[in-house]
């Protein structure tokens, strides 16, 4: 059995760790609430722009835009949204593992890394990193998403990629997050088959000003912006959710460990006392 002093020291060290994990948990919870709010507030815009785009792509069939065209090549670019920091359970690991499994064996793959964790990983295993965006911060702004989107669209136009996929962690609830892999470019028609036929039936005849093509040319880049913005927001909310869960279980584990150590500390103390008594009694007996 370990000495009393050692056990005491360990208890103290675990207690201070517990304090840190507890504080991190509370900070994550507060940030999560804010992040969740911005996810919800960003939804109407995304929904509307999808509506308009859906209607437009039927009403204006045959309109050409480079962002809509499928290309022959097979250079795939992955935009990977992870956190800058760790200590959030499997949040970064799950996403990176998913991408790594998909791209294994493919040759024409390059990545755009958002967040330090994915950058570090892909640099280490030697996948080509086309661009990296670090230090997104806790408050994601639309301008940040726009900057990323512009860069990606530019690279797509320059032929760096023939297809771009967006990989991020979808926020389902504070306790559940799911890695998600979706196609970003070329843009595919957004509505499903059923919705399409229904929409066509009630399709009012729209006037497009200046023209359907011009509207689409402005709308498509915006749509890409929104998708990336949404991915950043969801990823941020997921990160805080994951960190909160991880820190909460770390705090619980610390409490459990402290309980166990306290028990063995008490046992050790009792043993020491018993031993002392035995010695005293033994000594007295020897004298007597």
Partner 1 sequence: MATSYLLEVVTPERVVVKQEVEFTSVRSTEGSLGIMANHAPLVTTLDIGLLRFEKDGAADEMTLTGGFLEFAENKATILGNAAERPGDIDVSRAEAARQRAEKRIEEAKNGNAEIDLMRAELALKRALLRLSAGGRK
Residues of the shown chain interacting with partner 1 in the complex, contacts defined by CB under 8 A? 38, 41-42, 44-46, 48-49, 52, 56, 141-142, 145, 204-210, 212, 214-215, 218-219, 222, 225-226, 229
4-8: long-range pairs with CB below 8 Å, 24+: 4/265, 4/268, 4/269, 4/272, 7/261, 7/264, 7/265, 7/268, 8/265
C-beta separation of 10 from 265 below 8 A: no
Distance from chain centroid for Cα 199: 34
Among candidate residues 75, 115, 69, 65, the one with its CA nearest the CA of residue 95: 115
> Nearest-CA neighbor of 216 among 57, 70, 69?
57
Structure tokens, 125? 């295993």
User: What SS3 class is residue 82?
Assistant: coil
Residue 154's CB is within 10 A of a number of other CB atoms, namely 11
How far, in Å, CA of 92 to CA of 82, rounded?
A: 6
> How far apart (Å, rounded) are the C-alpha atoms in residues 261 and 136?
41
Chain centroid to CA 209: 39
Residues carrying an active site annotation: 88
Task: Please give the backbone phi and psi of residue 132, each rounded to the nearest 5 degrees, phi first.
Answer: -140, 145
Q: How far apart are CA 287 and CA 274, in angstroms?
A: 20
CA dihedral defined by 169, 171, 175, 180, rounded to 10 degrees? -40
Question: Residue 217 in 3-state DSSP?
Answer: helix
| Residues 190, 65: Cα–Cα separation, whole Å | 16
Question: How far is the CA of 89 from the CAs of 86, 175, 238, in angstroms?
Answer: 8, 12, 11
């Amino acid at each position: 059995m370990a000495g009393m002093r050692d056990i005491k020291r360990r208890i103290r060290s675990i207690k201070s760790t517990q304090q840190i994990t507890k504080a991190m948990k509370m900070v994550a919870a507060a940030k999560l609430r804010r992040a969740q709010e911005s996810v919800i507030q960003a939804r109407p815009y995304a929904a509307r722009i999808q509506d308009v785009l859906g209607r437009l792509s039927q009403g204006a069939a045959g309109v050409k835009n480079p962002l809509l065209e499928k290309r022959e090549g097979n250079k795939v670019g992955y935009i990977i949204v992870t956190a800058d920091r760790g200590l959030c359970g499997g949040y970064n690991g799950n996403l990176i593992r998913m991408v790594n499994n998909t791209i294994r064996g493919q040759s024409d793959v390059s990545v755009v890394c958002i967040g330090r964790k994915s950058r570090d990983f892909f640099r280490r295993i030697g996948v080509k990193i086309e661009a990296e965006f670090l230090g997104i911060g806790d408050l994601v702004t639309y301008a940040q998403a726009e900057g990323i989107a512009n860069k990606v669209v530019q690279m797509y136009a320059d032929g760096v990629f023939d297809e771009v996929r967006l990989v991020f962690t979808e926020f389902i609830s504070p306790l559940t997050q799911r890695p998600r892999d979706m196609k970003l470019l070329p843009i595919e028609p957004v509505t499903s088959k059923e919705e399409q036929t229904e929409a066509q039936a009630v399709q009012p005849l729209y006037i497009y000003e200046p023209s359907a093509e011009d509207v689409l040319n402005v709308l498509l880049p915006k749509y890409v912006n929104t998708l990336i913005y949404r991915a950043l927001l969801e990823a941020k909310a997921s990160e805080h959710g994951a960190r909160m869960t991880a820190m909460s279980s770390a705090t619980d584990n610390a409490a459990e460990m402290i309980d166990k150590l306290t028990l063995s500390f008490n046992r050790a103390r009792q043993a020491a006392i018993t031993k002392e008594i035995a010695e005293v009694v033994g000594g007295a007996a020897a004298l007597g």
